[in-house]
Amino acid sequence: MTFGERLWAAMDRRGALCVGIDPHPSLLHDWGLDDDVAGLDRFAMSVVDALAGEVAVLKPQSAFFERHGSRGVAVLERTVAAARAAGALVLMDAKRGDIGSTVQAYADAYLDPASPLCADAVTAAPYLGFGSLSPLVDTALAHGNGVFVLALTSNPEGGEVQRAVGADGRTVAGTVLDHVRAVNARTPGWGSVGCVVGATIDPVDEDLDVGGPLLAPGLGAQGADPADLRRLFGNALTSVLPAVSRSVLAAGPDPAALRRAAESTLDAAVRGAGEGPSGRDQG
């Protein structure tokens, strides 16, 4: 199965929710853990044990593992493997972007099953030109994995680049959306290349339907609520995968509390949006 097919099935079966694994020092402290490799391991594996059998996608933020050096990366490897073994899809939140052999090396690290860091998908930055991501996209598709490309992010600084207008009259974000749509048009069904569109942004005059998934961070701690999903995404709503982190992770370390927080977030998102992914025909 392609990543798009696997993601669609997971969203249909478990609900459209992505939970981040973001071991902020403050969250480790709130959980009664030290900000060290042992605390990192305890935190990450507790989230996996509580949620990998429940939610569609888990999204480890690689930076919070990398800050602990090689031992932290080893924890990240275990986290990815354990989450996938328990049935969750894993989206590596690494936001990589480069050119040539370097971006191919990132692809080999995060999307090739031969790598211990291989996830189901990875986030990528297109600001060296969308074509620079071709090795990442090609490697993902060759192995049945996916890529989520930054398009309209939830941070306020993003607009100075993403909403800038080029000589052709298109915004940078609109050009990224067009490129992703073109990649997905090459294959039948729901595409394996998605875009990141923050749930906190103001409505935009762009076609957000790219024929694949739309990762929508910003619910909860960043201020967006489920009603914002319908307001922003409109007809593309059935493609949306809401992403949350702190608002769920703050319920830990009790596993039952983590599961309740994820369930209530999903229930609120479904009620607020009024739709779910099962309503879309994959063709």
pLDDT per residue over 66-101, tens digit each?
999 999 999 999 999 999 999 999 999 999 999 999
**Residue 193 is assigned to a structural domain of this protein:** yes
Beta strands in 121-223 (DSSP E): 121-124, 146-152, 193-197, 214-217
Q: Token digits for 172?
A: 């940078």
The DSSP code sequence of 21-62 is: E---HHHHHHTT--SSHHHHHHHHHHHHHHHTTTSSEEEEBH
59 given a catalytic annotation? no
Q: What is the pTM of this model?
A: 0.94
Is residue 149, in this structure, part of any structural domain at all?
yes
CA distance 159 to 200: 12
Residue 137 belongs to a domain? yes
Q: Is residue 184 part of a domain?
A: yes
The reply to whether 283 falls in a domain is no
- Look at residue 224 and give its three-state secondary structure: strand
CA 199, CA 218: separation in Å to the nearest integer? Answer: 5
CATH of the domain at 76: 3.20.20.70
Question: Residues 24, 84, 95, 170: which is the catalytic one?
Answer: 95
pLDDT tens digits for range 178-205: 999 999 999 999 999 999 999 988 888 9
Domain residue limits at 190: 3-277
Share of the chain above pLDDT 90, in %: 85
pLDDT grade for 221, boundaries at 50, 70 and 90 = low
30 occurs within a structural domain: yes
Q: Does residue 128 fall inside a structural domain?
A: yes
The answer as to whether 282 is a domain residue is no
Provide the pLDDT confidence category of residue 128 given band limits of 50, 70 and 90. very high
- Averaged pLDDT for residues 250-263: 97
What domain count does the chain have?
1
Torsion on CA atoms 5, 9, 10, 11, rounded to nearest 10: 100
Q: Flag whether pLDDT at 283 surpasses 90.
A: no
Q: Regarding beta strands 240-244 and 57-60, do their DSSP bridges make them parallel or antiparallel, or are they unpaired?
A: unpaired
| Residue whose C-alpha is closest to residue 78's, from 117, 38, 105 | 117
